[in-house]
Amino acid sequence: MNFLKNIPPSVILVLVIQAIYFIDFQSKLNGSVAENAKDIARNEAKIETLSRSVQNQEVSLARIDENITHIREIMERMSGE
């Protein structure tokens, strides 16, 4: 404890203040990380919903395309008769 007598009180005060600000910064950072994790989970759910919607639209588009092809074949046969 003899070495503490050689350190000016202002240096100790500065170190304590820096420690307080560091702890505050860490707590805010942890809060931001938690909030970002929630946002990521919400975005993943939205992406999953959109992916299912796109897949359903692809199926519907394939059915429409197949129906158009079938109608075209019927029209060609009718015009050829």
pTM of the model: 0.56
**Which amino acid is residue 46, in one-letter code?**
K
Alpha-carbon distance 70 to 64, whole Å?
Answer: 10
Write down the domain spans for the chain.
3-80
pLDDT, residue 9, reads: 84
pLDDT at 42: 96
Alpha-carbon span 22 to 43, nearest angstrom:
31
Residue appearing with tokens 């588009």: 61
Residue 8 has what pLDDT?
85
- pLDDT for 6 equals 82
Give the Cα separation of 81 and 73 in Å (integer).
13
Rounded Cα–Cα distance for residues 38 and 44 (Å): 10
pLDDT tens string for the chain (81 positions)? 667 678 888 988 999 999 999 999 999 999 899 999 999 999 999 999 999 999 999 999 999 999 999 999 999 999 876
Task: In whole angstroms, give the CA distance from residue 79 to residue 41.
Answer: 57
